[in-house]
Amino acid sequence: MNADMPASDFVWKIPESFNFGVDVVDRIAREDDHTALIWTDGSGRVERYAYSDIARLSDRLASALRASGVGQGDKVVVMLPRIAQWQIAMVGVMKLGAVPIPCIDMLTERDVAYRVAHGEAVAAITTAANVGKFAAPLRARISVGEAAGWTEWNDALAGAPAGFQAERQAIGAPAIMFFTSGSAGYPKGVLHP
């Protein structure tokens, strides 16, 4: 904003379409690739991801989900702890034009069933330790770690092409769905554009 322009004259320049994965992550990867994420665990192991790594891995995840029948507007539960795959999953789901439903991994089987049903989720990404919490049939089931009946994360990404053509999202289209805490009744799904 120009310092001489009155605030009342300010107008946001909002594009007709936007995709966080493309317009933020992929753009930074192209224009000024640098560290996007540093993850470490309690033992001191460190993993570093550049924006180009996040761009490539999220492309592969989006491709794997699309190959499993997940498409634009579909809901995907992302129930992962604080690991690098969480960020990659969120970006990949958004590139697909699907709607991530981020969930903490301490949810119970009942909590998960409620969110899958009320969020109308068609896919899930979780850890091998949490796959037993998912009873509903889903088009895509991706687990970080080996789990019977689920596609392991590394296998899903290894078998998918990197050059993903991301979906453009109209401004105002659903981009993410959060569930309220449920402290005053059942949790409610809240869609954000």
pLDDT digits (tens, 9 = 90+) for 47-95: 999 999 999 999 999 999 999 999 999 999 999 999 999 999 999 999 9
Fill in the DSSP letter of residue 26: I
Share of the chain above pLDDT 70, in %: 98
Assess contact for 115 and 101: CB atoms under 8 A.
yes
* Alpha carbon distance 151, 135 (integer Å): 16
**Domains in the chain with CATH codes:** 16-192 (3.40.50.12780)
Q: Which residue in this structure is represented by tokens 């690739």?
A: 33
* Alpha carbon distance 17, 37 (integer Å): 26
Residue 3 backbone zone (phi > 0: left; psi -120 to 50: alpha; other: beta): alpha
